[in-house]
Every structure is written in C-alpha cells, then in structure tokens.
Structure 1
Amino acid sequence: MSSSPATSATLTRTLKLPSLVLFGLAYLTPLIVLGIFGVIAQQTGGASASAYLIALVAMLFTASSYGRMAKAYPVAGSAYTYVRRTIDGRVGFLVGWAIMLDYLFLPMVIWLIGGSYLQAQFPAVPMPVWILGFIVITSALNIIGIQIADKANLILMSFQILVIAFFVALSIASVVRTDGAGGLFSSGPFVGDGVGFVGIAGGAAVAAYSFLGFDAVTTLTEETVDPKRTVPRAILLVALIGGGIFVVVAYVTQLVQPGGTFASPDTAAFDIATKIGGNLFGAVFLAALVIAQFTSGLAAQASGSRLLFAMGRDGVLPKRFFGALNSRLHTPVLSILAIAVVGLIAMFMNVATSTSFINFGAFLAFIMVNTSVIVYWAKERRAGRAHNPVLYLVFPVIGILVIAYLLAQLDLHAITLGSIWLLVGVAVLAITTRGFRVQPPELAVDSAE
C-alpha cells in the first residue's frame, strides 16, 4: 500500500456544514446520555436535567473559543495547532501530546464498551471477537475515505436518533398515563431531592464528559469546504444540538423515574426502557447502544488519525509513517491503522481502567485553546487589528475557569496517570528540541484558503 510523500500531503475538500455537524454528533454519541443517566441522577439526587444544562452552558464558552481559532487557523490539528500558532511550538507539542490520550485511547474505550454490551448478551462469543469486529469494520470504512464514513454515519445516526425519539415519546406517554398531561411539567428534574448546588455541580462535571468530542470537527478542517465559515458554525451547532438532546432526554427520563435511587445506577436506562416500552423496546434500545458505540468509534478513529497526520506532517512524529497519505485513497491509512493497533489493548483491559485517564488530556486542551484565544486577541490588538473583546477575552476566561474546575473533579488516579503521560511528553520534547533550545518543526501547511 503506497503513500504519497509527506511534503505534498494534502486532504481533499468534500465536507460541508451538515456533514461536519453529523460527524460531531456521531463523536458525541447522543445516546450516551441514557448510558450514564443513572450515575448522574444518583449524584444529583434526581436533578440530571440541571446537570446537563450547566454542562451545556459551560461547554459553549469553550466551543466559542474553538470557533475563534478554527477561523484564524483553518488547518487540521485542532488544539495542538492552535497553541503552536499562538503561544509556542514547544507548548503546542505538549498540548498535542496530552490530547493524544483522548484521541488515541477513546476509540479503544468505545470499542471495549460496545464489545462488553454484546458479550453480556451473547456470552458464548469471546470478547476479543467483538472487539476485533469493531476495529476491522471501523478501520476499513475510515481507510476507504471520509465520504464513505460520512454516509455510514448518516445511516447509523438516523437509527440512533430514531431510538432516542421513541424513548422520549414512550416516556411522555408513560407520564401522561400515570399523572396526566400536567405531569409533563415539573421542576423535579431540575431541583432533585435537595442535594444543593454542590451535588448538582458534581453531576455537571460528570455530565460534561458526554460533550467530549464537540471539538473533533476541527480535525477535519482541511477536508471542509470554506472552513473559516463552516467549521466555527459546526462546532457551536454540535454543542447546542448535542446539549439540547441531553437536557431533553434527561428531563423526560427523570419524569419517568424521579429521584436518584436505582437498583443499579449503571443499568438504570435499560430498566426504564423496558418499563416504558416492554421487552421488545428494551432489546431495540440495547441494539441502539451498541450501534451508537460503533458510530462514535468511527468518528473517533477518523478524528484521531487526522491529529496523528498533522503531527507527522510536522515531523513531530515520524513523518514517513504518520505524515503520509495513501496515493489512491488520499486518507492517512497508516495513522488509522496505528489507532486500530492501540484498540487491540481493549482485549486486556476493563471499562473502568480504560476510561480512568482519557479525560485529562481533553480538559487540558480545552484550557489551552481558551488561553490561545486570549493570546491571539492580545497579539492582534498590538498589530492594530481589533476583535470583539467579549468573544476573544471574556468568554475564554470563563471557559478556563469552568474547565479548570472540571479538571479538578477528576479522580486522583486519572490525574496521576495523565501527569505521568505529560512528563513522558516533556522528555520526548527535550530530546527532539535539544534541551528545549530549538522549536519543534513547523506545520507544512500554514493556511487553507
């Protein structure tokens, strides 16, 4: 399988706003709101709708900052690129290294969760078989090309949204049967059982994990038509639509099952699905969860491979491997396969262990993107170019404070592992930059018209 030289590596522009929004929503996996509903409802005392509403507002500040940077630097690479361009190449490298935790290991976690669901239903089939199935099919679709993956996302997301719509409709019908139409209007899903703001804020920190990936569309910038206009819009739409779905679903689900007490918080949504729609809908709901994992894995692998491609094209990672595009398919095949290999680790891990540290890199990247917007605003101001201080200063400062709080909510195990990973990155940077004396290689593509 031949690849074009890294020096002429360019991606093909085919994606428009609907495709980017679809990709971002696939990465978010809207159905995850039900997968972790019981955990959030338990922590908030039944105020899960408030938790998601707070998380949505918090994420919008960072989404705005991603939009500002995507407009200023419309190239693949996301947070890694933005920090390199505005602050310093060495800091950018460390951000890219940190966020690799999210991009490299998130697909593995997604495939592991999907395999766990299937293995629980079909115990005769070994877990590695399910994981290999996820990896092979997902990798093949991403290698063939982002347009094919885009069409697969459309079909799979349509099914996922259909199941969510049925869940909401059946929930509403269940509430009306029990409490009448008036039961649809309640403050319960927002105030809970009196746990107070601290409890709800803690739930919001967990709920914010559902939003991880709204920024993933920035990694497809070089495959987007009119990226300076399209990508910022897509980022905000993904956050708004995804957050809207989360709030509505959490609200109606909490109406069906008020409070935060469940036989098993981890499987609360399964029990509720069976309660409102019977065993048949329960089976459909389970199928939708598995398909949601596949859809999310498809988007996560595509996004992660673009980050590796950008870093490889810079020469930060081995250029001949990561910075190469397939000459016929024009996709970063080797980067896609690298993420597939990492996914094989899922065969030897459990869900709790694998998810313990992936959020560290994402939150660090969010903080640094907000910081980049502030630095960019200051540089532009010194150059005599004015930008809206609310969008370029006030919003980023709020974003930094909010995300720093969420980062502090990670358990000690996650922070420890994330810090170790970051220290390894510092060591690699020290070697490649001769003791931090020189900058890492510059991006091969500085702008995209």
Structure 2
Amino acid sequence: MSSTNPSPGLDKSLSTWQLWGIAVGLVISGEYFGWSYGWAGAGTLGFLVTAGFVALMYTTFIFSFTELTTSIPHAGGPFEYSRRAFGPTGGYIAGYATLVEFVFAPPAIALAIGSYLNVQFPALDPKLVAVGAYLVFMTLNILGVQIAATFELVVTLIAIFELLVFMGVVSPGFSVANFVKGGWAGQDSFSAAAIPGMFAAIPFAIWFFLAIEGVAMAAEEAKDPKRSIPIAYIAGILTLLALAVGVMVFAGGAGDWTKLSNINDPLPQAMKLIVGESSGWLHMLVWLGLFGLIASFHGIILGYSRQIFALARAGFLPGAFGRVHPRFHTPHLAVLAGGVVGIAAIFSDELFSFGGQTLTANIVTMSVFGAIVMYIVSMASLFKLRRSEPGLARPFRAPLYPWFPAFALAAALVCLATMVVYNPLIALLFVVLGVLGYAYVLATRRRRESLAATA
C-alpha cells in the first residue's frame, strides 16, 4: 500500500471453513433461481447438455484459477493477476469485467428475494424489498469481515439443508417422463432445431456457478491462504455440482416444467405441483429458501467491495473507495458504491428490459458477460505468468497443465462468442461501459504513476 494512504489494512482472520462458506454461499442462489430461464429455449434435456458443458468449464477453471489465487493472494483477485501478467491495460480489462460480474449479480438476487417474499406477502413490492435487502446487508458487510464471514457460513449451511429438503419433498412426485417430455426445446426427441436454444441457454447455466471465484477477493483476509484457498475452492465446486444436478433434475421432474421457466421462484412453484398451495412444506421452502438468496447476496457484496477497494487502491478508481474503516477494517465506501449501482439497476427497467427478456434475465446476462471475460483474461494470465515468472512460488499448481486451463479458456471463448450472437445489445452495453471506464483510466494515469513512485 502506498505510504500516502494511512488507512489501516484488511483484517487477516478468515478460516478454511469460512472461505468454503464464502465459496458456496457466493453461488448458492444460482440453485434457487435464474437457471430455469435456460429451459425456455433449450428444454430440460437440452439445458442438461449445456449445463454439463459449463460445469466442465468451471471445474477446469477453478482447478487452474486456484494456482493464481494461492500464488498472488491479493484483494484484487483477477485484476492483480492480469495486471502482473499484462500490465495496466490487462489489469483494467480483468478488473472491469470482475466489477461488472459482481456489481450486477446482486440486483438480480435482490429481485429474487423480493419475489420469494411476494409469494408469502402479495402486497409487498419486490423492488422495495430488494432495496431493503441492500441496506441490511451492506450494513452487515461494513461491520467487519469476521461477522460477515461467520454469517455467510451459517446461512450457507441452512441453504444447503433447504435444498436437500426440497429434493426430499418433491421426490415422491418425481417422474422421468415429466423431465424428458418436450425436453429438447419443446420436442420429445433431439433434432438440430434444439441446438440454437442450447447455445442461447449458456448464460443461465453459468448462473449455476457464477461468482465462485469471488473467494479470490477474500484471499488477503485469510489466515493461511496458500493452504485454505485450495481446500475451499475444490470442496466448494464439488458441493455446487452435486446441488445443481439434484435441484435441476428434481424440479424438472415434478410436473409441467414449462411453468417453471421465465420466473424468479422455480423451486416454490415446483413444490406447489407436488404438495399444493396450502402445504406447510411450501411455506417452509419460501422462508428457508431466502437463506440461499441471502447467502449469495451477502457474499457477493463482500466480493464487489474488495474489487472496488483494490481498483481504487491501485489508482484505477477514485482513491476514496480504497479507504478502510478505522474501526471495522472493512472498505466501507466501496461497499456503499456498489450498492448505489445495484439499486439503480433494480429500477432501470427501461435500460435492461429489452430483447424479449425480463429485467432479471438481462441483468443476469450482463453479469455473466463480466464473468466470462474475466475467465478468459485470467486463464491467459496463467499461461503468461508460467512463462514470464517461472520462479513464482506456486503452493498449488493447476493439474494436467496445460490441458485444464486450455479447456477452460477455449470453453469460455465459446461461451463469449455465443453470448454476443444471442445478446448483441447487452454485449454492446458491456463494451460501451468498458470504453468509458478505460477513458477514465487513461485520464488518471499520472495519479497511478505517483502512487507507484511512493509505494
């Protein structure tokens, strides 16, 4: 840290269990909603193929990404890896992409929280509930990383338990015939006509696993990052793979799965098909289901705040966002900044409701664009650093190198190309915002040079 910044440092106190809780908690809302939008175009079977491809991409990516995280345990995560590999421009691209991923995921989750509560209380406006969620969990994140991480672990365990309960309750009504009926983009058997829908569903398959890499942003606050991060990442991806398959299969086999696509609360609606609207199981699912959404919402706020903090500390964002609260040792202004953008997105129907998709679907897609670009730059950074810094300490090395990172890189490129084809307007918005951000970076180059000179 620059000597011109007298702020205290981040608190190094996170354990392996807490990091695992962050890894799973960041993602677990993806098991509750978002993914079912993929059924609308691909069908259950088509989406199963898409999800399998994306799951393989994530598995190889996480095993490769862990090498970077343990070698360079920095709050900036991908921003710092790419800056080290490719200089300021590479760092900016990765930092911008990560910021988009982590700033645009929370409003989608907040809207889902509002939808879940709306099931119980129809008079509640989901958008106002979403804003309330932001206020509560921004406050909790500011109060301290130990409080935030312990809360994250608890709600994540409750969310996992709840998903297991969901599978158990709907299992008596599960039918393979329900799951496969019309499962190839509305057809009972595969045909070439199903392929476009399978490609179009890629963003919603990514939503199953989106943001697991956010543990990297907590690496600077881990007690022993070189040991605990590999365990957290690997255990986390295995946990999420098992839950994703179980939730998708059991929900799809509960009844008419076409009623579950294009909605924000597929699990309560799937359970209704089995137990009816007045069942106590349904009410329990709605209330406990909130824990899954809260776990991800809360965890991603932690992630985006550390990314904003790291970018500001390096001079890529206004320096105020790089301050640490003197009492709580958290980047409080970074927490608030991401919240302001997220709340604005919640009320940006005119900006994000286009292309025949809902506001939530488009926000999800925007977040996924950021994730995929970040994955590409991160894997490129891994290859570059292997060549440029062969002596860098690597407590964890990517298995089956170069095949694992090469597959992750190639798969991410396929996902990006597909998303651009099927979501050209969101792709254009992503690029325009990136260009505007880069203009700011160029205009503030002297400040970064001054920070580097006084470091």
Q: What code does the residue aligned with 2:207 have?
A: Y
Q: Distance in 1 between matches of 2:22 and 2:288?
A: 17
Alpha-carbon spacing, 1:325–1:205, altered in 2? closer, same or farther (3 Å):
closer
Contact 2:82/2:378 (CA < 8 Å) preserved in 1?
A: yes
Q: What code does the residue aligned with 1:318 have?
A: P
Listed one character per residue, the Cα deviations across residues 30-72 of structure 1 (whole Å, up to 9, x for unaligned) are 5x33424543344333224443332211111211221011121
Q: Distance in 1 between matches of 2:202 and 2:125?
A: 36
Query: Are positions 1:422 and 2:434 aligned together?
Result: yes
How far apart are residue 187 of structure 1 and its match? 8.8
Query: Are positions 1:407 and 2:405 aligned together?
Result: no
How far apart are residue 12 of structure 1 and its match? 1.5
Contact 1:314/1:441 (CA < 8 Å) preserved in 2?
A: yes
1:246 paired residue among 244, 247, 252: 244
Listed one character per residue, the Cα deviations across residues 308-357 of structure 1 (whole Å, up to 9, x for unaligned) are 111122222222x1121111111111111212222331452343453342
Query: Are positions 1:308 and 2:308 aligned together?
Result: yes
Runs of at least 5 residues in structure 2 that lack an aligned partner in the other structure: 350-358
Contact 2:260/2:269 (CA < 8 Å) preserved in 1?
A: no
Query: Are positions 1:206 and 2:204 aligned together?
Result: yes
How far apart are residue 439 of structure 1 and its match? 6.4
Listed one character per residue, the Cα deviations across residues 395-426 of structure 1 (whole Å, up to 9, x for unaligned) are 22211110111112321121111110111122
Q: What code does the residue aligned with 1:403 have?
A: A
Alpha-carbon spacing, 1:359–1:41, altered in 2? closer, same or farther (3 Å):
closer
Alpha-carbon spacing, 1:326–1:123, altered in 2? closer, same or farther (3 Å):
same
Contact 1:163/1:288 (CA < 8 Å) preserved in 2?
A: yes
Query: Are positions 1:46 and 2:44 aligned together?
Result: yes
Q: Distance in 2 between matches of 1:105 and 1:57?
A: 24
How far apart are residue 8 of structure 1 and its match? 5.1
Contact 1:105/1:358 (CA < 8 Å) preserved in 2?
A: yes
Q: Which residue of 2 aligns with 1:6?
A: 5
Q: Distance in 2 between matches of 1:124 and 1:361?
A: 35
Contact 2:140/2:148 (CA < 8 Å) preserved in 1?
A: yes
Q: Distance in 2 between matches of 1:328 and 1:295?
A: 25
| SS of residue in 1 equivalent to 2:207 | helix
Q: Which residue of 1 aligns with 2:166?
A: 167
Q: Distance in 2 between matches of 1:54 and 1:80?
A: 26
Q: Which residue of 2 aligns with 1:255?
A: 253
1:233 paired residue among 231, 234, 244: 231
How far apart are residue 365 of structure 1 and its match? 0.6
Alpha-carbon spacing, 1:316–1:188, altered in 2? closer, same or farther (3 Å):
same
Alpha-carbon spacing, 1:5–1:325, altered in 2? closer, same or farther (3 Å):
farther
Q: What code does the residue aligned with 2:329 have?
A: H
Matches within 5 A, 1:86-235: 86-119=85-118, 121-127=120-126, 129-175=128-174, 193-195=188-190, 198=195, 199-200=197-198, 202-235=200-233
Q: Distance in 1 between matches of 2:75 and 2:104?
A: 19
Q: What code does the residue aligned with 1:106 have?
A: A
Contact 1:13/1:223 (CA < 8 Å) preserved in 2?
A: yes
Listed one character per residue, the Cα deviations across residues 196-236 of structure 1 (whole Å, up to 9, x for unaligned) are 58354554553122211110000001110111222233223
| SS of residue in 2 equivalent to 1:52 | helix
Q: Which residue of 2 aligns with 1:290?
A: 290
Contact 1:38/1:269 (CA < 8 Å) preserved in 2?
A: no
Q: Distance in 2 between matches of 1:347 and 1:257?
A: 32
| SS of residue in 1 equivalent to 2:302 | helix
Query: Are positions 1:275 and 2:273 aligned together?
Result: yes
Listed one character per residue, the Cα deviations across residues 222-260 of structure 1 (whole Å, up to 9, x for unaligned) are 1101112222332232222112210122223333347x6
Listed one character per residue, the Cα deviations across residues 153-190 of structure 1 (whole Å, up to 9, x for unaligned) are 23322332222111111232224xxx7xxx79x99999
Moved more, 302-311 or 267-276: 267-276
Moved more, 209-218 or 224-233: 224-233
Q: What code does the residue aligned with 2:440 have?
A: V
- RMSD between aligned residues: 3.4
Runs of at least 5 residues in structure 1 that lack an aligned partner in the other structure: none
Query: Are positions 1:379 and 2:395 aligned together?
Result: no
* Count of aligned residue pairs for this structure pair: 430
Moved more, 74-83 or 290-299: 290-299
Identity %: 24
Contact 2:155/2:292 (CA < 8 Å) preserved in 1?
A: yes
How far apart are residue 303 of structure 1 and its match? 0.8
Contact 1:50/1:190 (CA < 8 Å) preserved in 2?
A: no
How far apart are residue 265 of structure 1 and its match? 4.7
Contact 2:120/2:283 (CA < 8 Å) preserved in 1?
A: no
| SS of residue in 1 equivalent to 2:440 | helix
Task: Calculate the TM-score normalised by the size of structure 2.
Answer: 0.84
Contact 1:98/1:364 (CA < 8 Å) preserved in 2?
A: yes
